[in-house]
């Protein structure tokens, strides 16, 4: 599977002791896009975007529940 943000192969998550793969489907790339992404893009792009959306929504006096729902769904476009 390719990362929908950077295009690199999505990393496999392995158990630290057995080294068996327990997850290989990547992370939810929303609100950046509708695809899946690698851990690096999740940590550096997606989470950053979600946090930015939350801060902007807080400035607009939006409820925390609405902020989280919209940010995760990618429905918020703060001006």
25-53 pLDDT tens trace: 999 999 999 999 999 999 999 999 998 88
Give the domain ranges of the chain.
13-73
Radius of gyration of the chain (CA): 15
Choose among 23, 18, 54: nearest CA to 39. 23
pTM of the model as a whole? 0.74
Give the C-alpha separation, 79 to 49, whole Å.
13
Q: What is the pLDDT of residues 5-25, one digit of tens each?
A: 999 999 999 999 999 999 999
The answer to whether 17 and 30 are in contact (CB under 8 A) is no
């Amino acid at each position: 599977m390719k990362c929908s943000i950077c295009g690199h192969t999505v990393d496999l998550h392995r158990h630290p002791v057995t080294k068996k793969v327990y997850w290989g489907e990547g992370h939810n790339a929303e609100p950046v896009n509708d695809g899946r992404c690698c851990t690096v893009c999740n940590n550096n792009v997606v989470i950053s975007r979600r946090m930015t959306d939350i801060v902007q929504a807080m400035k607009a006096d939006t409820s925390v529940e609405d902020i989280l729902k919209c940010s995760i769904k990618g429905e918020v476009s703060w001006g």
